[in-house]
Structure 1
Amino acid sequence: MQLTKKQARQFILIHQMIMPPRKLMGKEGVLQYIHHAGCIQFDPLNVVGYNPYLVLQSRIENFKSEYLQELLYSDRKLLDGWDKNMSIYSIEDWPYFSRYREEAYQRYGDGSSPINKILPKVREALNRNGPLSSIDLNFDTMVDWSWAPTRAARAALESMYYWGELIIHHKVGTRKVYDFTKKHLPSELLSLPDPNTTMEQYFEWHVKRRIKAVGLLWGRPSDAWLGIRWMKSNECIEALSRLEKKGEVLRIEVEDIKYPFYILKEEAPLLHEVLNGVDVEPQASFIAPLDNLLWDRKLIKEIFGFEYVWEVYKPVSERKYGYYVLPVLYGDRFVARFEPKFDKKIGKLNIINWWWEPDMIVSKEMEKALIQCFKQFLEYLGATGVQFNNGSILTI
């Protein structure tokens, strides 16, 4: 079954719930998207909101950060956890990550661990005082840790979190405050066994999860496969082959691309809808740097003709665009990118620079859609206006 590149773009964007954008509503919309995608990626940088907020503002009408905070730390329907790096996913996924917790306990929880001596004192402090962060504990001894020497208090709390004894109770900015998992998650959930009893089953489950997170995915190495522990490239290809034989994924060809793509069998109705032709009025949206849509940037370059590199960790002299740059989507094409900065003191969104894609022709319809998108984005930020450093591009 072959798709044109336009059909492939439409399939991915409809699957991603951003064609059209901002059609989900409230906390239920947040849950709907995260259940649909499996997880969204967290990153501690906050230029115009954390990455999860940026992911959700393009899909949720009048998104507010409180929606996500409440679902994580009041309603306890979502969890901070490790999947595609630091992520947010549904509590129902807890049993599927048993392997990660078991590995963490084997690595950090044995008697030879440098944190072993203080663990009873950490547990006592949590029982006595309730949720704590590392700055609330006076264990200032430095220990050699997996990334670098660090305070014993931090190493202990993070290790207990990795093996599942603790969860993140809440955050103060990016500082994690921990509490005992058993206080906040149902005992029935915590007692569930890992549904994947073999490594092959685990690979197949996680491969399907990644396809679901993106919509249309190939077997080529990419950032989309990050976080699937123990899986190498050949094991990914083997898992895809087994899933295809079992009919759990469907192989798709895209014009002028030699590599095959895969979708979940549940997406067959959407595939046929796209093949029969979709007619959606083009709208604009600003896309997060670590949006699920952009997890495989080689795929985006092939299908969308858009090359995107997140340049935050590049030296200034090596950046082609800017520090924290957001792609701009209009209809089924990326039409521009811009570097924003939110000045909270004066309540203004500053556009440091704006770059149209080559040969872009800006129609009146596109301009209206971008103005509407900016209005939504300002409301999301709580900004009172937008100003362009290099001259006004749009009148808001």
Structure 2
Amino acid sequence: MTQRRYSLTREQARRFLFDYHGLSHEFDSSGKAGILAYIRKVGCIQFDPLNVVGTNPELVLQSRIADFDRRMLWEMLYEERSLVDYWDKNMAIFPMEDWPNFERHRQKHQAWFNKNPAAATAVLEEIAERGPLCSADLEYDEKIDWAWGPTRLARAALEGSYFAGRLALHRKASGRKYYDLAERIVPEKLYGLPDPFVGDAAYNEWVLLRRIGSVGLLWNRPSDALLMTGMKAAQRTAAFGALLSRGEILIADVEGLGHPLYLRAADAALLEASLAAGPLAAEGEKRAAARPMRACVLAPLDNLLWDRRLILELYGFDYRWEVYKPASERKYGYYVLPVAADGRFVARFEPEKQRGSEPLVLKHWWWEDGEGADPAVRGSVERALRRFAASLGTTFEGELPG
């Protein structure tokens, strides 16, 4: 069977990715239904505990969900349980229905649990009797080696049991994680189901298809988008080949890129709709008659940015999250967020730490080369900053630099 192979201009590829992630037009998603639909589409959104102006998943969702409120995410995670915190692409949030697909990941993390059965069992028994607990609730104060350095046995026992799937996150409060027995958190119809994948090849194909969907377009190259998949180059190439042979992915050749990109066949209709809609505004065309422009503030670990080398080659936008770099080695700042508008990256900024209802303050602002002069872009960015501030429960009262 001959499959369609797309030939895209760079502008078409850039536009599709913005369309795919719901960033290039008026908001088309709202409420919890919109949150769940987006996360199902991309598989997962990455979690990071740093909170300067909201956590990473909150920043991902505020840029895509028209009426996003942080309470929505909390309720979906810790009350309704339609979403779950676990490991996917690093720490992540994904639909609870995907829990069985990570059984092999949980099996790979049984080592600590198996080497420390007394402590692990004691912690499980305490939680079974007392209910959800955090490390401060447990009196296991012995210091032991742990992945991030020496830590209390209580923390290691909780996290080791969590990695192994014996515990799940009940809630988070003031930076503390409260754990409960996974069988109390994961629905009975999902808990304890066997690994659905027969062999590594089947799992590799599933997770590769998932990560292509996480970004929208991906190439067969080493990529941060494939973190924690465990695939070596040969396994990755085999998985691409198997998905192509079954017609589950399609090839998109993009002008000027030395490697083809791949999209899920299920997303072909969206690509064709994006191609048919054309650019936001052709040269000389009145913007009011073209596709609407919407600027947005993106998360530092936004799905669109998972493969930063691809973003650099496709958009010419060189972005690195510098929070873990020494101050002397940073090019921009500690916590810098990208700003997108009109299907491209137009700026980046470092916000001040958000405290309560204090207005959002821009500590530093950098326009990308050639940006900042177009009144339409500036107006759209100003509206985006006001929306962003509102999602934090505050306001933006400043002015954009020239």
Q: Pick one of 36, 42, 62 that aligns with 1:57.
A: 62
Partner Cα separation in structure 2 for residue 23 and residue 347 of structure 1: 30
Name 2:12's counterpart in structure 1. Answer: 7
Name 2:43's counterpart in structure 1. Answer: 38
Deviations 1:348-367 (A, max 9, x none): 21101111111225222112
Partner Cα separation in structure 1 for residue 156 and residue 224 of structure 2: 27
Partner Cα separation in structure 2 for residue 276 and residue 385 of structure 1: 36
Shift of 1:76: 0.5
Residue correspondence of structure 1 range 365-380 to structure 2 within 5 A: 365-380=376-391
Gaps of 5+ in 2: 1-5, 281-290
3-state SS in 1 of match to 2:168: strand
Partner Cα separation in structure 1 for residue 199 and residue 37 of structure 2: 29
Name 1:283's counterpart in structure 2. Answer: 294
Partner Cα separation in structure 2 for residue 146 and residue 346 of structure 1: 36
Residue correspondence of structure 1 range 314-329 to structure 2 within 5 A: 314-329=325-340
Contact preservation (8 Å) 2:53, 2:354: no
- Normalised by the size of structure 2, how large is the TM-score? 0.92
Shift of 1:191: 3.5
Q: Pick one of 386, 394, 401 that aligns with 1:393.
A: 401
The reply on whether 1:108 has 2:115 as its aligned counterpart is: no
Partner Cα separation in structure 1 for residue 107 and residue 249 of structure 2: 29
Q: Which amino acid aligns with 1:188?
A: K
The reply on whether 1:364 has 2:393 as its aligned counterpart is: no
The reply on whether 1:84 has 2:77 as its aligned counterpart is: no
Shift of 1:66: 0.6
Output the aligned Cα RMSD.
Answer: 1.6
Q: Which amino acid aligns with 2:44?
A: C
Deviations 1:68-92 (A, max 9, x none): 0000000011010101000000111
3-state SS in 1 of match to 2:190: helix
Over 3 Å counting, the alpha-carbon distance change for 1:147 and 1:322 in structure 2 is closer
Shift of 1:234: 2.2
Shift of 1:143: 2.1
Over 3 Å counting, the alpha-carbon distance change for 1:345 and 1:119 in structure 2 is closer
Contact preservation (8 Å) 2:220, 2:236: yes
Structure 1 or 2: more strand by fraction? 1
Deviations 1:221-254 (A, max 9, x none): 121110113x112211221112111111101100
Contact preservation (8 Å) 2:349, 2:363: yes
Name 2:239's counterpart in structure 1. Answer: 239
Contact preservation (8 Å) 2:27, 2:65: yes
Gaps of 5+ in 1: none
The reply on whether 1:120 has 2:121 as its aligned counterpart is: yes
Partner Cα separation in structure 2 for residue 26 and residue 161 of structure 1: 30
Name 2:321's counterpart in structure 1. Answer: 310
Partner Cα separation in structure 1 for residue 179 and residue 128 of structure 2: 12
3-state SS in 2 of match to 1:338: strand
The reply on whether 1:24 has 2:29 as its aligned counterpart is: yes
How many pairs are equivalent?
386
Partner Cα separation in structure 2 for residue 316 and residue 291 of structure 1: 23
Partner Cα separation in structure 2 for residue 122 and residue 109 of structure 1: 11
Over 3 Å counting, the alpha-carbon distance change for 1:277 and 1:345 in structure 2 is closer
Name 2:3's counterpart in structure 1. Answer: none
Q: Pick one of 346, 349, 352 that aligns with 1:338.
A: 349
Contact preservation (8 Å) 2:342, 2:377: no
3-state SS in 2 of match to 1:187: coil
Name 2:262's counterpart in structure 1. Answer: 262
**Deviant stretches of 4+, over 6 Å:** none
